[in-house]
Amino acid sequence: DAGRDEFDIAATGQTIEIDLAIRGNINGQPVLVLGEVKSNLTASEVERFIRETDRIKASVSESESPQPEIRVIFFGYRAKREARELVKAKGAYIVFTHGKIL
């Protein structure tokens, strides 16, 4: 299952909309990939999306069994150096429009 999705955060009553959510299984284990699409990715956008995915992770871990492994990915045309470094530090990935993956 893949596409835009909304996640209700019970603790805050907030709804977070995600550009791309992919649910599937790898070796029989549930996986949820959360993706953000930006033409020019900045460090502040990375920080914001990582905070949102952290809230989603906490909410999903309370509501789904078995708990899926959650992976974070960014799609974009460009990313500033600070953004690329932050993505790597957070254990996420970037896929650029020209096919390069970090």
pLDDT, tens digit (0-9, with 9 covering 90-100), for 53-81: 999 998 887 777 788 999 999 999 999 99
Say what the pLDDT of residue 62 is: 72
Taken in order of first residue, the domains within the chain and their CATH numbers are 2-96 (3.40.1350.10)
CA distances from 69 to 31, 60, 66 (A): 5, 10, 9
For the whole model, what pTM was predicted? 0.89
Rounded distance between C-alpha atoms, residue 4 and residue 44, angstroms: 22
Do the beta carbons of residue 49 and residue 72 sit within 8 Å? Answer: yes
Place of tokens 């649910």: 23
Which amino acid makes up residue 73? I
Which amino acid makes up residue 20? L
CA distances from 22 to 11, 44, 51 (A): 23, 24, 19
pLDDT along the chain (102 residues), means of 10: 89 93 93 96 97 92 82 96 96 93 84
